[in-house]
Amino acid sequence: MKCEMCHNAEAETAITKETAGDLQELYVCQACANKALRQKDSESVPPATGVPSLPLMGMIMDAAFEIVGRALNRAEPSCPVCGILRNEYRQRSRLGCPACYEAFSKELDSAIFDLHRASRHTGKAPEKAKAVWARKRLEAQLDEAVKAQRYEEAIALRDQLQKLDGPKDEKKGGPA
Amino acid sequence: MMLKSEFGSSSKKARPVASDDIAMSCRVRLARNLAGERFPDWATERDRERVFSKVREALSAEAPALRVSSVATFEEQERDVLCESHLISKDLLARAAGGGLAYAADGSVCVMINEEDHLRIQGFADGLDMRKAWQTADALDTRLERHLDYAWTPDLGYLTACPSNVGTGLRASAMLHLLGLRLLGEIEPVVRGLERMRLLVRGIGGEGSEAAGQIFQISNMDTLGVDEAAIVQRVMRICAEVVRQEHNARVRLIHESPLVLVDCLARSLSVLQNARLLATFEALEFLSAMRLGASLGLCARLKVQDVDKLILLMQPGHLQKGMGTAMTSDERDEMRAEFLSRKVANVKLKC
């Protein structure tokens, strides 16, 4: 998941931000989290007295505790996409997003086997996803063949990959 | 709105009456999620609304005949009615923001949006015609996947919010009326046997509900490692066997324990005709007995389909809708007793 402030880096933590009197939770990268904290800090210092008002101080402390708390919890496995921690999904028995299956695969694999007495899908596959996974598999095989200097195999795999792009390439190369 | 998901329908002519009276209805549900989106339980309102709008777009392109509504726009009474008709779940109602429902006017298919999963596509059919329910749900799913990027991997299949649904995401269930087995004291071994065969046995309201009125919902437990057709086939085959056992139990009741049967029918009819207050749960118990009596031809002027309608119409949402007014629980109990006594006033036992 991308940082909801800079929209560039991957989100690593959550902060609360006040917008028009409402508290909003944002998933942000560490740099933006620090920036937000510094900004809150400077906003909370009234120019007249130099002492933050109590509600603002409370909010800053909350935000700080939240950031530190999340950072400390990093030792616990978390999903890199949605950010939920292992304990959080255990408490609700619901995963956070599709990427959690990969993030928590160590313990999920055995839990899934216990639930279904099976570990591999047999059945329907959506055409779009099938195509994406077929490409991924070919790309991985191509990388492996190149690394191992099996060039004939690599050329065959490259041709197969090009075939997947076939119609697009023909259009591009065809007469106007 | 009359839906096939409601108990009973008019299209029962082709099948043997006894079997269809026992297997009330069936459905096949497919759980689907969008790639790159948080599952509804962990999503923000903004996330859920984004998913809702993607799904609505796909539905309008691929299934324009379906009526799509946001749960937030439903009035309280309408919510109860849809819930009692098994079109939406209490879980979906609890997630108002971004929650939605798309359904066909003929009641053959519906889609819950942002329930436990982003999409829950449900196909409905009468009796034990699960293959039809599966084909309906599958056809809609195949059309929608042209527009939506489903979360799917070759190893685990369709990725769902709860790992208990991962794989096919398919739950095939049938609603069976098993009062004969209960009266003979044989229901527990049957339920234990079903559980040993890795089938889930629940009450009329689905997960966590009691089997009120001896109406059981039976569905598959495993969704991974078996393909869709095999799951549907297996649940159908086992449910057909339970239907056969219930049929045998009813025959044995008539021949071996007629007094038990007649006593049950007479008591139930008497309460329904004379009670002044009736809660939903107890009304369902008595209507269940009437359903058995009607099925065995022991109740004059009462058909199984009539009882099925009463089972639906006496529930809180339908009752209030029928009366055109909101009522307290006590008022509903009074109204339910009055409504049912009127409906069964002319019914007579033939035994």
Choice between B149 and A136, residue whose per-residue pLDDT is larger? B149
Contact B225 A111 (CB under 8 A): no
Contact B163 A84 (CB under 8 A): no
CB B271 within 8 A of CB B305: no
Pick from B150, B172, B176: which is nearest to B229 by CA? B172
Axis-axis angle for helices B329-343, B316-323 (nearest 10): 80
Binding-site residues on chain B for chain A (CB distance < 8 A)? 33, 35-39, 41-42, 44, 116, 138, 141, 145-146, 149-159, 161-164, 166-168, 170, 198, 222-228
Contact B41 A129 (CB under 8 A): no
**pLDDT tier at A174 (50, 70, 90 boundaries)?**
very low
Helices (H), B85-129: 90-94
Pick from B235, B237, B163, B236: which is nearest to B199 by CA? B235
pTM equals: 0.76
Strand partners, B217: B175, B202
Per-residue model confidence (pLDDT) at position A54:
43
Among chain B residues, CA nearest to A93: B162
Chain B neighbors of A122, CB-CB under 8 A = 225-227
Per-residue model confidence (pLDDT) at position A35:
75
- The residue assigned the tokens 């007094």 is B259
**pLDDT tier at B8 (50, 70, 90 boundaries)?**
very low
Residue pairs spanning A and B at CB distance below 8 A: 113
Q: Over range B2-20, report the average pLDDT.
A: 39
Residue A89 to chain B, least CA–CA distance (Å): 9
Q: Which residues in B196-212 are b (16+ Cβ under 10 Å) and which e?
A: eeebbbbbbbbeeeebb
Q: Over range B75-81, report the average pLDDT.
A: 86
Pick from B144, B168, B234: which is nearest to A123 by CA? B168
Chain A neighbors of B161, CB-CB under 8 A = 94-95
Residue A169: partners with Cβ closer than 8 Å, 6 or more residues away: A162
Contact A97 B168 (CB under 8 A): no
- The CA–CA distances, whole Å, from A8 to A2, A30, B216, B313 equal 6, 12, 52, 56
HEC-encoded secondary structure of B40-52 = HHHCCHHHHHHHH
Interface with chain B: mutation pick from A26, A100, A101, A116, highest number of B CBs within 10 Å: A116
CA distance A139 to A127: 18
- Would you say the C-alpha torsion B32, B34, B38, B41 has a positive or negative sign? negative
Phi, psi values for residue A98, rounded to 5°: -60, -30
CB atoms closer than 10 angstroms to residue B350: 10
Contact B39 A97 (CB under 8 A): yes
**pLDDT tier at B39 (50, 70, 90 boundaries)?**
very high
Chain B neighbors of A97, CB-CB under 8 A = 36-39, 42
Residue B158 to chain A, least CA–CA distance (Å): 8
Per-residue model confidence (pLDDT) at position A15:
72
Pick from A144, A49, A129, A11: which is nearest to B155 by CA? A129
Chain mean pLDDT for chain A: 74
Contact B227 A133 (CB under 8 A): no
Chain A neighbors of B170, CB-CB under 8 A = 123
Token pair of B41 as six digits:
């339980």
CB B179 within 8 A of CB B288: yes
pLDDT over 70 percentage in chain B: 92
pLDDT in tens, B239-262: 999 999 999 999 999 999 999 999
pLDDT in tens, A120-141: 999 999 988 888 888 888 888 9
CB B333 within 8 A of CB B311: no
- The residue assigned the tokens 């829950």 is B120
CA distance B26 to B346: 31
Judge whether residue A66 has pLDDT over 60: no
Q: Over range B164-181, report the average pLDDT.
A: 96
CA distance B41 to A157: 42
Residue A31 to chain B, least CA–CA distance (Å): 23
Among chain B residues, CA nearest to A25: B44
The single-letter DSSP state of residue B117 is: S
Among chain B residues, CA nearest to A110: B163
Judge whether residue B147 has pLDDT over 80: yes
Chain A neighbors of B167, CB-CB under 8 A = 116, 118, 121, 123
3 state DSSP class of A138: helix
Per-residue model confidence (pLDDT) at position A49:
37
Chain B neighbors of A127, CB-CB under 8 A = 145-146
Residue B221 to chain A, least CA–CA distance (Å): 8
CB B24 within 8 A of CB B215: yes
Helices (H), B114-214: 130-144, 179-183, 187-196
For residue B185, how many C-alpha atoms fall within 13 Å in the half-sphere facing its CB? 2
Contact B227 A123 (CB under 8 A): yes
Contact A112 B35 (CB under 8 A): no
Contact B150 A121 (CB under 8 A): no
Pick from B19, B228, B200: which is nearest to B135 by CA? B228
ipTM: 0.84
pLDDT over 90 percentage in chain B: 80
Among chain A residues, CA nearest to B37: A97
CB atoms closer than 10 angstroms to residue B105: 11
Chain A neighbors of B157, CB-CB under 8 A = 121, 123-125
Chain mean pLDDT for chain B: 90
CA distance B39 to B23: 34
Choice between B7 and B217, residue whose per-residue pLDDT is larger? B217
pLDDT in tens, B296-337: 999 999 999 999 999 999 999 999 998 888 899 999 999 999
Q: Which residue in the set B35, B170, B198 is minimally distant from A98, CB to CB? A: B35
- The CA–CA distances, whole Å, from B112 to A139, B98, B143 equal 37, 11, 16
Choice between A88 and A15, residue whose per-residue pLDDT is larger? A88
Q: Which residue in the set B33, B145, B224 is minimally distant from A98, CB to CB? A: B33
Contact A115 B159 (CB under 8 A): no
**pLDDT tier at B282 (50, 70, 90 boundaries)?**
very high
CA distance B86 to B123: 12
Per-residue model confidence (pLDDT) at position B57:
97
Judge whether residue B3 has pLDDT over 50: no
Token pair of B310 as six digits:
């009463």
The single-letter DSSP state of residue B302 is: -
Judge whether residue A53 has pLDDT over 50: no
CB B80 within 8 A of CB B93: no
Per-residue model confidence (pLDDT) at position B15:
34
Judge whether residue A59 has pLDDT over 70: no
Per-residue model confidence (pLDDT) at position A162:
85
Residue A83 to chain B, least CA–CA distance (Å): 10
